[in-house]
Structure 1
Amino acid sequence: MKSSEDGDVGALSIGALASRFGLATHVLRHWEAMGLLHPGRDAGGRRRYGADDLTRVATILVMKEAGLGLNTIRSLSATADRAARHEILRPAAEELRSRIAAAQASLELIEGSLNCAYEDVTQCPNYRRIIAERGGPRSPAGDQ
């Protein structure tokens, strides 16, 4: 590998940048087409990525890990206004809260099943309580 591709942050090729983050080059091209990346070009017209681009790719990856879509990330990058940022992020935060609640409910059901001493998990008091909370039949008084 050329030293300009692996040591000089100001001259990373698309392949070197993709490799650095474990991405395919087509991902970086897609992000560029969406307006998320704006690489410079060398005399031959090849993309060259600098330190700001590395920061941008890392930021995109972190935001994607947080559950944000590319359109939301693009909207966020297009504004420096705090109120606009809050307007963009509020729905994402609410959806994440909903997914967390669903995951917690799933974990409660699974842990209850793991801790159940009955042969038939549907007979466990915890399982019956969860089913009743979701509109199923109420547990007999003796199971509570």
Structure 2
Amino acid sequence: MTPTRGTLFLAVTLGLFACAETAAPVAPTTRAAQPKKPIVTAVAPVPTKPVFVPKLAIAPKKVYPPPSRLSGLDRGQVTGLLGAPGFERLDDPALIWQYRSAICALDIFLYRNENEDIFRVRHFEARARGNKTVSEKDCFVGLLIAHEQRS
């Protein structure tokens, strides 16, 4: 096997640099040189797989009040909670409001207090619609959620 021109040139050039004169030695200082302390650095190992940290995107479940929250509310407070009623009737001395969803109807009975001219909830009743069964709480919460979605 014969060396090529490039290989031969490289070998000669390296040989010349090896024989070249080095820089003049540095004169020692009067103070003794302190030995250098080794520098130690910590490098974390590179993970082989990417590490994914899940985000807590799940909002806490909202807690709705029980239907008993209706007791004692005036008309404005009920409207703020459930919106405008789907049906309203004055059957003196009661004011009857009805809220409906696909699964239930909630009847709210408001009466005037003796000392005030303000109607307040004194009674409420939830009924399932059709052949369905529903608890008073489920009916009330469903109506609250429906009102939130409309607002």
Same fold, judged at TM 0.5 (above) = no
Give the TM-score normalised by the residue count of structure 1.
Answer: 0.19
Q: Highest CA radius of gyration, 1 or 2?
A: 2
Give the TM-score normalised by the residue count of structure 2.
Answer: 0.18
Higher relative contact order (CA 8 A, sep 6+): 2
Q: Greater share of helix residues, 1 or 2?
A: 1
